[in-house]
């Protein structure tokens, strides 16, 4: 934050407020002010509270890292100061006009004397207003100085990195980059191995299917052979039985 620019903006703002008071605040016929010291001080207090809020908003933006640049904020701050000055001028003019109308109505006896009693001379009220503004501007400039220091400290914390820490950070980044490259290469190799395994699995599966086919065919052949052999054995047994029967019948014939 450019402290000189901010201080100049504050002083100019204070002068604008005082110009409004000098132009608008008039004296009654008896030389007393249309507005009392308390009324003017109250309006100035409320006004400078809004200015203080503008400064606080900048501090919060920096703490929250919202990325608002110094030049952008100063420009925005100056524009908002003008808006606040115009707002004060309208309210002050309206307050003076209200007091003037009340005095006129009271003179004609149309209203009761309900407004605040004003015993101060207009010049006295203006002098007090000038003192009030000068003190407020001084306090705001001190606040600007504090904020400027905070912003500079915040920026220095980001920029002033020790050389050792900077080198360490660079080494860590280099190491991480190397690890990432190694991981990429390892993933690439794993993909190749997976593809080779997939091809090998397909070849093994084909061989297993072929063996299973041979096994099935061999099993069918064995079953056919078993049936053939079983049938021959039964036929031979019948032939043997018949031979024995014939032999026995022959023997019986001989005996007779």
Task: Summarize pLDDT for 141-168 with one digit per residue, the tens.
Answer: 998 888 777 766 766 665 555 556 556 6
- Going 169 to 171 to 176 to 180, the CA torsion angle's sign is positive
The string of pLDDT tens digits covering residues 90-121 is: 999 999 999 888 876 666 555 444 445 667 89
Token pair belonging to 61: 């933006």
- Quickly state the pLDDT bin for 256 (edges 50, 70, 90): low
Q: Is the pTM of this model over 0.75?
A: no
The string of pLDDT tens digits covering residues 14-29 is: 999 999 999 999 888 7
Closest to 41 measured CA to CA, from 121, 123, 128: 128
pLDDT for the residue 166: 54
The 3 state secondary structure assigned to the chain is: CCHHHHHHHHHHHHHHHHHHHHHHCCECCCCEECCCHHHHHHHHHHHHHHHHHHHHHHHHHHHCCCCCCHHHHHHHHHHHHHHHHHHHHHHHHHHHHHHHHHHHHHHCCCCCCCCCCCCCEHHHHHHHHHHHHHHHHHHHHHHHHHHHHHHHHHHHHHHCCCHHHHHHHHHHHHHHHHHHHHHHHHHHHHHHHHHHHHHHHHHHHHHHHHHHHHHHHHHHHHHHHHHHHHHHHHHHHHHHHHHHHHHHHHHHHHHC
User: Does residue 130 have a pLDDT over 90?
Assistant: yes
């Amino acid at each position: 934050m450019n402290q000189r620019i901010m201080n100049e903006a504050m002083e100019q703002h204070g002068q604008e407020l005082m110009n409004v008071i000098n132009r608008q605040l008039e004296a009654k016929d008896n030389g007393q002010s249309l507005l009392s010291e308390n009324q003017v001080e109250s309006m100035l207090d409320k006004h400078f509270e809004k200015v203080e809020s503008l400064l606080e908003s900048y501090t919060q933006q920096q703490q929250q890292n919202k990325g608002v640049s110094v030049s952008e904020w100063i420009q925005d701050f100056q524009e908002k100061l003008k808006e606040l000055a115009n707002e004060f001028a309208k309210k002050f003019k309206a307050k003076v006009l209200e007091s003037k109308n009340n005095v006129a109505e009271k003179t004609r006896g149309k209203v009761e004397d309900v407004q605040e009693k004003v015993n101060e001379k207009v010049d006295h009220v203006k002098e007090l207003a000038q003192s009030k503004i000068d003190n407020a501007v001084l306090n705001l400039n001190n606040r600007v100085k504090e904020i400027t220091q905070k912003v500079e400290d915040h920026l220095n914390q980001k920029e002033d990195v020790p050389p050792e820490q900077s080198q360490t950070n660079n080494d860590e980044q280099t190491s991480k980059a190397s690890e990432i490259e190694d991981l990429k290469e390892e993933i690439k190799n794993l993909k190749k191995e997976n593809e080779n395994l997939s091809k090998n699995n397909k070849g093994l599966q084909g061989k297993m299917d072929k063996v299973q086919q041979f096994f099935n065919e061999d099993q069918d052949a064995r079953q056919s052979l078993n049936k053939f052999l079983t049938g021959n054995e039964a036929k031979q047994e019948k032939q043997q039985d018949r031979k024995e029967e014939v032999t026995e019948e022959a023997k019986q014939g001989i005996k007779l």
